[in-house]
């Protein structure tokens, strides 16, 4: 089993839609969790950290479920500029395979 697994995607949604990604991890002792965004042929950029109590940043909400060992990212009112690959990261910078999101007009 991979250490970090993500929804396969791709997700193609219309503007304004709400979309959610999940990411499961295998190491129950994992302590740190992040969501990164990667645009085509660019380096990943930190989108947000994931805290135990859940956290929100504008249209983005991240949550952690330790019991089921997964983290989630919710994007509300999606914009065209949200089109990218979203990567979850657990612990020592181990990345999930990424979920590609395309937001269409």
| Helices and strands: H and E segment counts in the chain | 0, 11
Site membership for another protein, residue 98 (CB under 8 A) = yes
Binding mask 21-60 for another protein (x = CB under 8 A): -------------x------xxxxxx--x-----------
Beta bridge partners, 87, equal: 36
Q: What share of the chain is helix, strand, coil (3-state, %, to 5)?
A: 5, 50, 45
User: Which of 20/46 has CB closer to another protein?
Assistant: 46
Residues that bind another protein (CB under 8 A): 34, 41-46, 49, 87, 92-98
């Amino acid at each position: 089993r991979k250490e970090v697994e993500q929804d396969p995607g791709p997700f193609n949604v219309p503007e304004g839609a709400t979309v959610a990604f999940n990411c499961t991890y295998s190491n129950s002792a994992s302590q740190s969790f992040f969501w990164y965004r990667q645009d085509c042929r660019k380096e990943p950029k930190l989108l947000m950290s994931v805290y135990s109590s859940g956290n929100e940043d504008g249209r983005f909400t991240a949550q952690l479920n330790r019991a089921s060992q997964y983290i989630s990212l919710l994007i509300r009112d999606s914009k065209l500029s949200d089109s990218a690959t979203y990567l979850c990261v657990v612990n020592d910078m181990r990345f999930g395979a990424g979920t590609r999101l395309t937001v269409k007009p």
